[in-house]
Each structure stands twice: as C-alpha cells, then as structure tokens.
Amino acid sequence: MDKKIDELAPSINVEDKERQAVAPTAITRIEAFRQVYNSPSKLYMFWSAFIIWTIALALTFDTSGLYLAFATSHFNQNPLLSTIGLLTSVMGAVIQPFWGKLADVSARPLSLAISLALYTLGYIVSSACKSVQALAAGQIISNVGSTGLVYLQTLIIADITSLQSRGLAYGVMSISYLPFAFVAPNIASGIGLEKWRWGYGMFCIIMPVCVAPILAVLFWADKRAIALMKANATPNSPRISRTRHFVTTVAQVDPFGLLLLGFAMSLLFSPPTLYTGAKGGWKNPSMIAMEVCGGVILLLFVIWEWKFAPHPLLPRRIFNRNFTLCFVTTIFYFLVGGLYTAYWSSWLWVVQNYSQRQWTYINESGGAALCVFSFVAGIVQRLTHRYWFMQIAGIAVSCVGCGINFYATYMGHTSTIAVVFAMILFQGGCAFALMAIQTVVQASVRHEDLAIAIALLIFVQSLVSGIGGAAAGSVWTKDLPVNLAKFAPSLNATDILDIVGDITVARVSEPRDAIIGAFEKTYRKTALLSLIFMFPMLITAFFCTEINLDTRQNAIDDGLDAEGKEENEEEKGVKGFLKRIF
C-alpha cells in the first residue's frame, strides 16, 4: 500500500503527455485496483459478487435463446431467424472495439454499467414488441449489452490471473453454466410456447439484481484505486483540464473508425438474408448498392486505420504470428458454428417427435459439453503449461462431430444418439481448441493491448458466427420451399409458406414423411458446409508456435515475443508488419 504506484505497475508506452494523463485509467489503474484487494475478506467479497454475476449470465444464455424460434413463429416469420441472428451478431461484433477502448481509457465499472443498461433495455423492447421488427430491435440492443457483459468477464479474469491459471479460471467460470443446462428445460416448459414474452421480461429484473453487487464492488474498488494513485502521484505528473481530458478520451475510442466499421458490416452482410424477399433477388438494385457501398466503406475503414487514425482500433503491433494464426482459426471455427447451429434446433423440432422439454434438453446438450470440457481443458492447461496439442486435438474432435452430424441428416439416421453424440463431440472439441486460442491470443500481446486484443477476438467470433448463420439462412430460405414442393407436391403455395414460416405448423402438417424429407435435405447442405470448413483450421493451428504458460501475465512484456525471440522495436511499416506474421 505504501509503495509508489509506479513501482507496482509495468511501464506504459505513451505517445504524448495527454495520452500519459489518460493512461492511468488503463493499466496503471488496474495495478492500483489490485492493491485494493489486499486481504482475504476483500477477495472473498469480490469473487462472491463475481460468481453471482456469472450465474445470472449463465441463466440468460441457457434460456433466452430458446424463445427466439417461437417468438419469430408467433409473427409467422421463422425464416427471419437468420436475419435477426446476423443483425445481432454484426452489432454485437462492431461494438466490441468500443468496449475495448472504453475499458482502457475509462474504467471497467463504467463499461459494465453501460452494458447492463443496454441489456435491460433490449429485453424490455423484446418482451413488449408488437411486431417482428420491434423484436429484432430488442434482440440487437440486448445483444450489444450482453456481449459487453461477457467481454468484461473475460477481460477482468485476464487482468488478474497468470498464464498458467487463466485457462483454469475460465474453466471454473464455465462450470457455472452447467446446472442451468438442466434447469433451462423446466423453465422454458413452465413458461410455455405462447408465453415467450415472460421469458424475456423476467431478465429485466434478474440481471440488474444479480449484477448490482459486482457493480458496487467494482465502483468502490475503483474509487479506492484512484485515491491510491493520487496519493502516490509524482509532482511532475501531467495535468489537463476536464474538457481536454474528455476530448482526448473520445479520440482514443476512435469514433470515426467505429462508425465506418458499423456501416460497412451492416451493408455487406444484410443482403445475403434479404435478397430472397427482394424483387429480382440479387439483381435488385438495392442489393447491389448495399454490397458496393459496404465494400467502399470497408476500404475507407482500412485506409483510415492504417494511415490516419491517431488511435487505431486495430494496432498493427498486436499482429504477430501466433495472434494472426489464431485469429484466422477463430474465423473458421465460428463460421462452422454458425452453419451448424443456426437451423439445427428448428430442423430437430420438425423431424423428431420430442416434447418441448425433451427438445430443450437436447438443445442444451451442446452447452453442457462445452462447460464440462472447458473445465477439463483448463485443468490440462494448468498441469501441462502448454496449449498447442490441445488446439490440434480439439479441432480434430470437432471434425468428427461435424461428420456425424452430416450423417444424421439422412432419413433413418436421425437418431437421438447420433444427434446428441455429434453435438457433444463438436462442442467438446470447441472447448479444448477455443480455450487454447483464447489463452495464446492473450499471451501474445502486451498488457496495455490486452483489452483491445480480447475485443478483437470477440468481434471476430460474433461477426463470423453471424455470417455463418446468414449463409445457413440463405440456404434455408431458398432451398426449403423448393424441397417442400418437390417432396410434397400436394401442398399448395399457401401451405408451403405456412410451413416455412412456422416450425410448429411444419411439425403437425401432412404429409409428415415428405415434410421431414424436405427439412432433412435442406439442413444437409449446411451440415456439409460446416464439415468442409473444419479442415482449414488444422492447417492454421499446425503452424502456431508453442508458448510456455507460466506465472507471467503475458509472454511479451518481458521483452520476448510470443515465440520467445527478442523483439525488434525499430521495424515498422508494411515490412515490419509482414515480418511479425511470417
């Protein structure tokens, strides 16, 4: 407590005096934050509040997603599942750099409070919606808030744990999701198909109540940390006015870059799910205009970030070899996940005769496998201090799961054992591979870049998952009506529209076997695509280099890069960027 804060924190690279004045709210502030929790009682208070927060998140993720299929079917718009999934993923992804910058230049508690407010507002809109458009708006707002809540959990654990314990900490956190995998079916069944609004509405109360303790603890600790920093500040510490401090903080968030990125992503990825309803499909001028404008804006974003942004969202220094390869592997993994899961539950509901509770249990089997194997992966990582073999083995197991899932799409092979075993293998492999990826990404950047590195990883996960879901939605909305007409020629156009638009109608319509055949053939294509896209990950993962997961916060701040070689700070520009990767 009596030591100077400069002695407790790692050195901070600052670009100018104004940046130095704002910098203490980032890494130095975290180091002071650690000093506040200097007794077992305070640590107990922190972790108790943190666990309550984690439990609330686990409950919402295990149950709220079950209501969306029935909410869209309520408005006879089930095919819009992929469109809503894409929009929520894009907005959840685009906001990640903002969370990263905000957490760096202001404080973790403020970011958490904003995330909670957006989450609650989104669920209020979803529960009270009178149209599918309002439902989509509520889902987008709540997803922006929930991604912020998840991001901050990931960041706080990375701030306070060493490399050797980080995977285990994430594994322990994931176990809290496990009980709700079995409670969720009872909750969903109790609410019922027609009362999905209550499913969203209850979280407007549950989440604020459960987040309030950790929010209070974090604000209290942050206030104490600021007082500690001021008490230990040197006389020559730079001082700037509040107005100038605000302007500098806003500039570091890079609002222009965020605006360009948001417009580009929205324009590029909306047409794939909208073209089927547009006159002329892809030939519709509006579809072409959105793609062209999106591409141009994305190019402007790259130019802005590379050449002109004073505080870029994507600092070039973080793109070393391991970070880049894990970045690419993540892209493929979440593309596969989007293809696999977007219409998996809808397909399963129609082709099987499960009760709602049974269907919910099977939906939760993947989440349960992810929780259990994440914990196992954390233990393995803690004992071995290595990640490379975990990543390769996890990808290989996921490949097998995708293969069995493809096999299960053929008539007569859609047994409960095949469906559940495929999902468990896929998610179990994901647990090992993604635990390894998450740890090595955090190990491959300096502490001062940790927030933006985590934000970038979650950005890619959310965006690419939405792209995968959009691709699945494109296949679903285009092929399902055609397959229904082919397998069940007795159905008229109105019947086909009703079956495509509402999975509850599809399940009770006749001819049952023909409808099942149409759904099987439609989902089979997305299952095949998910299997194909698994294999490139084995190549990218193979070329990653091993890191010793020891007691350090990361593998860079000690003067070594992720591969253990001395860094050359002089090499900059395109040549230095390419050399860091290759």
Average pLDDT over residues 337-341: 89
Q: Is 70 exceeded by the pLDDT of residue 1? A: no
Which pLDDT value is given to residue 232?
A: 59
Q: Does one domain contain both 220 and 283?
A: no
Q: Which of 267, 283, 309 is the last residue before a domain boundary?
A: 309
Dihedral-angle region of residue 254 (phi above 0 means left; psi in -120 to 50 means alpha; beta otherwise) = left
- Which of 303, 311, 318 shows the shortest CA–CA distance to 253? 311
Amino acid found at 63:
T
Which pLDDT value is given to residue 498?
A: 86
Amino acid found at 280:
G
- Report how far residue 130's alpha carbon sits from residue 300's, in angstroms, rounded to the nearest whole number: 38
- Report how far residue 161's alpha carbon sits from residue 117's, in angstroms, rounded to the nearest whole number: 28
Q: Is 50 exceeded by the pLDDT of residue 243? A: yes
Cα 305 from chain centroid (whole Å):
23
Quickly count: other Cβ atoms within 10 Å of residue 62's Cβ.
Answer: 26
Q: Is residue 455 part of a domain?
A: yes
Strand partners, 566: 560
Which pLDDT value is given to residue 396?
A: 95
Q: Is 60 exceeded by the pLDDT of residue 559? A: no
Which pLDDT value is given to residue 265?
A: 77
User: DSSP letter at 130?
Assistant: S
DSSP 130-167: SSHHHHHHHHHHHHHHHHHHHHHHHHHHHHHS-HHHHH
| Token pair recorded at residue 559 | 């003067």
Which pLDDT value is given to residue 192?
A: 62
Q: Is residue 581 part of a domain?
A: no
Q: Are the CB atoms for 576 and 315 separated by under 8 Å?
A: no
pLDDT digits (tens, 9 = 90+) for 99-152: 877 777 667 788 889 999 999 999 999 888 888 888 888 888 888 898 889 888
CATH of residue 108's domain is: 1.20.1250.20
Which pLDDT value is given to residue 22?
A: 44
Split at pLDDT 50, 70, 90, the class of 21 is very low
Q: Does one domain contain both 87 and 180?
A: yes
Q: Which residue is associated with the tokens 């027609």?
A: 194
Quickly count: other Cβ atoms within 10 Å of residue 244's Cβ.
Answer: 13
Q: Does one domain contain both 317 and 372?
A: yes
Q: Are the CB atoms for 385 and 550 separated by under 8 Å?
A: yes
Cα 14 from chain centroid (whole Å):
30
- Report how far residue 312's alpha carbon sits from residue 212's, in angstroms, rounded to the nearest whole number: 33
Q: Are the CB atoms for 168 and 358 separated by under 8 Å?
A: no
Q: Does one domain contain both 325 and 374?
A: yes
- Give the count of domains, the chain: 2
Q: Does one domain contain both 79 and 121?
A: yes
From residue 236, alpha-carbon distances to 148, 246, 348, 533 in Å are 36, 21, 66, 56
Which pLDDT value is given to residue 158?
A: 85
| Token pair recorded at residue 532 | 């194909």
Q: Which of 272, 289, 309 is the last residue before a domain boundary?
A: 309
- Report how far residue 87's alpha carbon sits from residue 199's, in angstroms, rounded to the nearest whole number: 21
Of residues 429 and 315, the one with the higher pLDDT is 429
Lowest mean per-residue pLDDT among 30-44, 54-68, 237-251: 237-251
For helices 388-407 and 512-532, angle between their N-to-C axes, nearest 10 degrees: 160
Average pLDDT over residues 438-445: 88
Those residues with Cβ within 8 angstroms of residue 532's Cβ, 6 or more apart along the chain or in another chain: none
Q: Which of 263, 285, 309 is the last residue before a domain boundary?
A: 309
Q: Does one domain contain both 273 and 129?
A: no
Q: Is residue 579 part of a domain?
A: no
Which pLDDT value is given to residue 435?
A: 92
Residue 566 has φ and ψ, to the nearest 5°, of: -70, 135
97 prior amide bond cis, ω within 30: no
- Report how far residue 167's alpha carbon sits from residue 163's, in angstroms, rounded to the nearest whole number: 8
Split at pLDDT 50, 70, 90, the class of 249 is low
**Segments forming the whole domain that contains residue 287:** 255-309
Q: Percent helix, strand and coil across the chain, each rounded to 5?
A: 80, 0, 20
Q: Is residue 582 part of a domain?
A: no
Lowest mean per-residue pLDDT among 182-196, 294-308, 545-559: 182-196
